[in-house]
Amino acid sequence: MNAVGIDVSKGRSTVAILRPMGEVVQEPEDVKHDAISLERLAYKILALGEETKVLMEATGRYHEPVAAELHEHGIFVSVVNPLVIHNYSTDSSVRKVKNDQKDSIKIAKFCLDRWADLREYTPMDALRQQLKLLSRQYDLYMKTRVTLENNLISLTDKVFPGVNEMFKSPERADGHQKWVDFITTFWHCDCINRVSEEAFTERYKKWCKRKGYNFSTSKAADIYIDSLGHIVTLPKNDNTKLLIQTAAKEFTSTSELMAVVKAQMIALAKQLPEYDTVMAMYGVGDVTGPQLMAEIGDVRNYPRRSSIVAFAGIDPEVDKSGKNQSDGKPTTKRGSPHLRKTLFQIMSIYLRLSPQDEPVYQFIDKKRTEGKPYYVYMTAGANKFLRIYYARVKECMAAIAAKEDLEG
């Protein structure tokens, strides 16, 4: 038995090799993350023999090239949560020593102790990896867009209060919103009320035609009336125009980028075998569906329903010892925060639409009528939703595998 412990960091890793009874095969040694160095490491590990396992921590993206390269050479690689290694200790010393060399030895010792329980690393296929990256970028752009939208509303309140509430048109597929396009052209209420209603109506009609929006004479009249009588704090000059139009263009540019990313997410998600099954689930939309598939990955990597719940971090903590039976413990929150956010959005849809025939909503409503706090019944609903997701997608995967076997 050869246990290879790899402490991964950015650009390099520290590798130690141990055997049972504390035998040191290789003292901790640094290996760069380049093609030649990783290939040499792979050949060195292969030379140890068949009874060899490599263990490393999941450290963001840094471990991926190392794990993928070793896996391609047919080496058993296992990737574990860093918290598991952190909580593991075989050192009886009271001194606290932490460096890359000590960590690599600690990982190798953990590999020997948990030899039979280690799960082999299977690199996520390129499609799922790209979908996950797009999902994370979409979340990043969403945060930026919310900030830009709040900034734009704050600025328009100084020149045209309430303009963001004038239009009820939904956001277009290209990311454009009518009120944002409107304020880009009519950037101050004086752009409207300093001309006659007829002149504004004609100009608004041409603007709607140019931008591809529906025109209504009554809507033009309402806009004209709404532009009257405001007390503005920014004058109608070039500086104000620059502020408003720049903020509007930044917001629109981010929205257009998000629309492109969203379209690509949907296109990639449609290539996954579970797409139709996931999108058929209640509360799942064009964004949350691909995000679920991206964050959860292949359900075949989860041996039980409880595994996927634990990965999401929405399983309650267990605190029982002797006569002490602690209840009301919070969730572990050890898993993916991105997945928890997506689940929370889906649960919000359940609450807003209240589908009486949906088992997830029935469960949420039951917990709510029992007097449970908001986050308790939301988390309980997410837990039930994930279990249903696991069962349906696992069944879908099994049906596809059976069909492929018949055709083969």
List, for residues 105-159, the tens digit of each pLDDT value.
999 999 998 898 888 887 776 788 889 999 999 999 999 999 999 999 999 999 9
Query: Per-residue pLDDT averaged across 221-229, rounded?
Result: 93
Residue 117 confidence (pLDDT): 85
Q: What is the pLDDT of residues 167-202, one digit of tens each?
A: 988 999 999 999 999 999 999 999 999 999 999 999
Residue 336 confidence (pLDDT): 82
Say what percent of the chain tops pLDDT 90: 66
**pTM of structure:** 0.81
CA distances from 8 to 97, 107, 114, 244, 327 (A): 18, 11, 19, 48, 38
Rounded to 5 degrees, φ, ψ at 337 are -65, -30
Domain boundaries along the sequence of the chain: 2-123, 128-268, 275-407
Q: What is the pLDDT of residues 4-14, one digit of tens each?
A: 999 999 889 99
Q: How confident is the model at residue 18 (pLDDT cuts 50, 70, 90)?
A: very high
DSSP string, 80-136: E-HHHHHH------SS----HHHHHHHHHHHHHHTGGGPPPP-PPPHHHHHHHHHHH
Residue 82 confidence (pLDDT): 86
Architecture of the domain delimited by 128-268: Orthogonal Bundle (1.10)
Q: How confident is the model at residue 260 (pLDDT cuts 50, 70, 90)?
A: very high
Q: Which amino acid is at 67?
A: A
* CA 16 and chain centroid, separation: 34
Q: How confident is the model at residue 95 (pLDDT cuts 50, 70, 90)?
A: low
Q: What is the mean pLDDT of the chain?
A: 89
Task: Provide the sign of the torsion angle of the four alpha carbons 40, 43, 47, 52, taken in this order.
Answer: positive
Say what percent of the chain tops pLDDT 70: 93
Q: At what angle do helices 126-159 and 178-185 cross, to 10 degrees?
A: 50
Residue 323 confidence (pLDDT): 61
DSSP string, 153-182: HHHHHHHSTTGGGS--PPPPTTS--HHHHH
Architecture of the domain delimited by 2-123: 2-Layer Sandwich (3.30)
Residue 382 confidence (pLDDT): 93
pLDDT at residue 92 is higher than 90 = no
3-class SS of residue 325: strand
Query: Per-residue pLDDT averaged across 282-305, rounded?
Result: 91
pLDDT at residue 358 is higher than 80 = yes
Task: Provide the sign of the torsion angle of the four alpha carbons 188, 193, 197, 202, taken in this order.
Answer: negative
Q: How confident is the model at residue 254 (pLDDT cuts 50, 70, 90)?
A: very high
Residues 6+ positions from 386 with CB-CB distance below 8 Å: 305, 308, 309, 312, 314, 343
Residue 245 confidence (pLDDT): 96
For residues 231 and 110, give the distance between their C-alpha atoms in angstroms, rounded to a whole number.
69
Task: Quote the tokens at residue 272.
Answer: 């996954």
Residue 319 confidence (pLDDT): 56
Query: Per-residue pLDDT averaged across 315-338, rounded?
Result: 67
